Chains A and B, each alone.
Chain A
Amino acid sequence: MKLIVAVIRPEKLSEVLESLYRADVRGLTVSHAQGHGGETEPVETYRGITVKMELQKKVRLEIGVSEAFVQRTIDAIVAGARTGDVGDGKIFVLPVERIVRIRTGEEDTQAVTPVPQAEEP
């Protein structure tokens, strides 16, 4: 089991979600973040005061996956997020000790295996 943390450009989020969906990766968490990845800082001016924006808007994805899904998840994120310019982001793969699915109490690999889509009532 691994936790995949990816930091990507916000404007690439839709493409990443799409490519994850195509790779059958379903459960994920998205949060908006700020960060710096070595890209040139945009310069902005407000009433003559010039500022350098050192922190860029970024999006952080967190995805818990079983071993079999690690590489395809990484591939999907890279395919959706790459522009080729500095600031495309990073993917971190972290070991996970334990996972619990709250609804059922299932643990570990069971807990990150998607259930067949339930019928809407």
Chain B
Amino acid sequence: MPPALSAPDTLFVLISTALVLLMTPALALFYGGLVRAKSILNTMMMSLVAVSVVGLLWAALGYSLAFSEGITAIGGLDFVGMRGIGLEPRDATATIPHLLFFGYQGTFAIITAALISGAIVERMRFSAYVAFLAAWTLLVYAPVAHWVWGGGWMHKLGILDFAGGTVVHITAGVAAWIAAVMVGPRRDHGRRAMLPHNVPMMLTGAALLWFGWFGFNGGSALAVNGTAVQASINTMLAPMSALAVWVFLEYRRNGRATAVGAGTALVVGLVAITPACGFVSPLSALAIGALTAIPCHFVILARPRTKLDDSLDVLGAHGTGGAVGALLTGVFCSTAWGGPAGLLEGEPRQLALQLLGVVAAIAWTALATWGILSVIRLFTPLRVAARDEALGVDVSEHGEEGYTDGEGAVLVLETTR
């Protein structure tokens, strides 16, 4: 049967691609609002530069390693340099142009790498970070994407990950954890209060992330069909219950609901439903959002009391939310909603598979992230000098300030012509 393009499917994934690409600048706003004013530009730049570095590598090599036929652990080299990626569907079951699939998947690789930056804000050297992003995309993201979506071993075993709970959020969360340990905590960590400098900006970012997530989850159906509707509405529902539970937990503890907590809860709900959204009922989506909020809430509560300066809680929100969501996928997946039978339908097998997937993703990500940073550390320090950290990485790494009235700035005119 010759491959047939579908106009509605193509339009839908085109829009979804733009939506997911928007999530990276949205993440820049989210993270940027959470750091101190002296570090906002560096924090936002770490997300923005991922668009370029990861995007370019995706085109050069990453896509091929993830999605061309290879061995079960990693893809081949068929699509290196975008060779062979045209306007025809990629196989007999696809209904959108291969080029569109390539672009859509690229936006996932970009946001995943950018997520890690939340763990090492305000002290990592920008050049070391860029080197890390490049290596990590090829050595962690591409293989794990191949395992799950590119026909690799997780796919063959039947491990479920609809839109990236394992591929995106577990890998980013675990990499963030390892990176925070290896780069080391900020000098002020545990000694001084470090407050978010612009909470409205963080909430704007959270809103845009939610908006973009409809493309992330809904678009992962790759077609205009019932699954796309199911995934999209589940994406709407899960953050609602996550926010309700989170606010309740805060209220019980402090007698107040916080805006930063609500913004965090939205993201946690979105992370939780990501692996499950195409396999579970809308009611289950509400349950997954609510249930995942509880462990994430307590991890994020406990983390600042430890030595681990995962500054913006990537492990707590994305790592924990991704792992719990992946496991709950095995509990709630339903034959009536496009999945295999889960634990609630009396079938423990899927939960065991999900656990295997989670453990394997954590193990490989931790090992490879450690390896990458160990090598980079041989060539260049991972963090800025103490004085630059005190002054702020915006000035030291970028020679700019996020907020300046320009008083005392003297124009330097070079005499080049």
Contact = CB atoms under 8 A, between A and B. Distances in A.
Interface string A36-67: 10000111111001111111100000000000
B105 to A, nearest CB: 34
Interface string B392-409: 000100011100001111
Given A50-B414, A51-B409, A55-B407, A44 B401 contact: yes
A53 B387 contact: no
Interface size class of B (residues with CB under 8 A): 10 to 19
Contacts of A36: 408
Contacts of B302: none
Nearest to A51: B409
Interface residues of A, number: 21
B412 A43 contact: yes
Interface in B219-270: none
A3 to B, nearest CB: 26
B378 interface: no
Contacts of A55: 407-408
A41 B206 CA distance: 37
Contacts of A46: 400
Contacts of A45: 399-400
B411 interface: yes
Contacts of B414: 50
B411 A49 contact: yes
Contact of B409 (A14, A54, A83): A54
B1 interface: no
Given A11-B391, A14-B192, A54 B410 contact: yes
Nearest to A85: B387
A44 B407 contact: no
A110 interface: no
B399 A44 contact: yes
Contacts of B408: 34, 36, 53-56
Contacts of A41: 410
B391 to A, nearest CB: 7
A44 B395 contact: yes
B412 A52 contact: yes
B295 to A, nearest CB: 33
Contacts of A56: 408
Contact of B407 (A9, A11, A34, A52): A34
12 contacts: A11-B391, A42-B391, A42-B395, A44-B400, A44-B409, A45-B399, A46-B400, A50-B414, A51-B410, A53-B409, A54-B408, A85-B387
Interface of B: 192, 387, 390-391, 395, 399-401, 406-412, 414
Pairs of residues from A and B, 3 with the lowest C-beta to C-beta distance, nearest first: A55-B408, A51-B409, A11-B390
Given A42-B399, A52-B409, 15 more contacts: A9-B390, A11-B390, A11-B391, A34-B408, A36-B408, A41-B410, A43-B412, A44-B395, A44-B399, A45-B399, A51-B410, A51-B412, A53-B408, A55-B407, A85-B387
